[in-house]
Amino acid sequence: MARIRWSNIEGLQQSQFYLGDMYQFEYETEMADFYFDAFPLVFVLRRNMKNRTTGEKYFEGINFHYYDLPKRIELFRSMSRFFTNKVISDEEEDDDDIDEVIKEIVSVTTTSKDLSSRIELLKGKETDPLAEAMSKIPDDTFLKAREYRNIIMVSRKHRAAKLAWRRYNPKKIISKIVKIPPSKWYEAVIERSQRFFTSNLGKIKGQRVWKEQLIKLRRS
């Protein structure tokens, strides 16, 4: 098992990416518009793409770190409808209890040493069937990448995913690539392993990134 810096989530070390799987890695680039996440948590939706101008290869996916914790959980919950193994029923998808669950999760202190407390809170909440189901989901589960990709490009309901869409150059990865097993997806989403930097490696607080992202979301 392997993990990257700033993360307590263990997974399998990989040499390449596959559609519909979740990955963590360390990334560094001077090509960011203004800032970038140095430790992306990405569901891969496109791979083996090639830039027609530069010839460089790249892959694309949804990076959860560009949202604060409540929005991450909301995004993950909506994505779960596109997992190959169904984890919640149609009735559970429509319940209102998720708001209360999010409030309690966010109230747990956010340092990495307290991650286990937040995870246990998730697992113990009967009001959040998604958290309970994710701990038991089969290892062969993956996100139906092509179907989900097509949906988020045309559906306003899934605009949060579209705004978290990012492109990555494999040559800019400076660490091992860790594939997160499905049973750990939810835990990875609620872990705050993000680290934002400018293109000249100046640090930026996550709160600033999340605020700007939410403003973009409201205007989209």
> Structural domain boundaries of the chain?
12-219
Instruction: Judge residue 130's burial from the number of C-beta atoms within 10 Å of its C-beta, 0-12 exposed, 13-18 middle, 19 or more buried.
Output: buried
Instruction: Judge residue 190's burial from the number of C-beta atoms within 10 Å of its C-beta, 0-12 exposed, 13-18 middle, 19 or more buried.
Output: buried
**Amino acid 113: pLDDT:** 44
Q: What is the mean pLDDT of each run of 10 residues along the chain (220 residues)?
A: 92 96 94 84 96 92 96 94 80 49 51 51 56 86 96 92 96 97 95 90 92 93
**Amino acid 104: pLDDT:** 54
Distance of alpha carbon 143 from alpha carbon 220, whole angstroms: 25
**Amino acid 108: pLDDT:** 52
**Tokens 């409540």 -> residue:** 70
Strand 196-198 and strand 22-24: the pairing is unpaired
User: Residue 44 in contact with residue 21, Cβ under 8 Å?
Assistant: yes
